Structure 1
């Protein structure tokens, strides 16, 4: 598989699509997306394209509150550290498989920060 740089909307879409294929097939977090959150992929994926384009390309494509849906899911099914660890493992594997260069490493660092902060917030909220 030829690796490419992560520097265009098309590359971001490849990242998101490849990542969410892994998510849907994953036995730990796949059911959280499909059964608990009941994600409508046709509407979710364009939001994720915009979210990651904003982070990677700095184009301001995303306008929303990305943590809010996680709070809603967490009320139905408490999200634990291992969910975020798996999310990060799958995301990092997708970056490694598909992309090369400094931007890919910066995106990996940003994803790590997101997973850590969101996991900590939800752990705090889940603590009695």
Structure 2
């Protein structure tokens, strides 16, 4: 039986698995290798802080993800298909490692975030 997400280390596991899949993905991987050149240690730290705050209300995240994604969209148009692939990979990463209320909450929040991003950018 899989455990639920319970701390920062669990979130890091999800992020590592997710971005491993993203980097290799033919639909969205190029955003992270060709459209922008990602500083992976910084990006991973930022994403872990974002999700830790989203799940556990730590207040550790500072940033403006909508502005960041608007900038990315100016560099290369993001489409509903890109967001759908992002969701598919994200849910697979969560489901591959964890199950429970926090895992469900992470997937639900990711869907809400994707919907807002598509609307705002």
Structure 1 residue aligned with 2:52: 53
**How far apart are 1:4 and its partner, in Å?**
2.4
Q: Deviations over 1:46-74 (max 9, x none)?
A: 00010011001211110111111111111
The alignment yields a C-alpha RMSD, in angstroms, of 1.1
Query: Superposition pairs for residues 33-112 of structure 1, below 5 Å?
Result: 33-112=32-111
Is 1:32 aligned to 2:61, yes or no? no
Stretches of structure 2 lacking an aligned partner (at least 5 in a row): none
Contact 2:23–2:30, Cα closer than 8 Å, also in 1: yes
Structure 2 residue aligned with 1:23: 22
How many residue pairs align between the two structures? 121
Structure 2 length normalisation: TM-score? 0.95
**How far apart are 1:79 and its partner, in Å?**
0.7
Q: Which runs of 4+ in 1 moved over 3 A?
A: none
Which has the higher relative contact order, 1 or 2, with Cα contacts under 8 A spaced 6 or more apart? 2
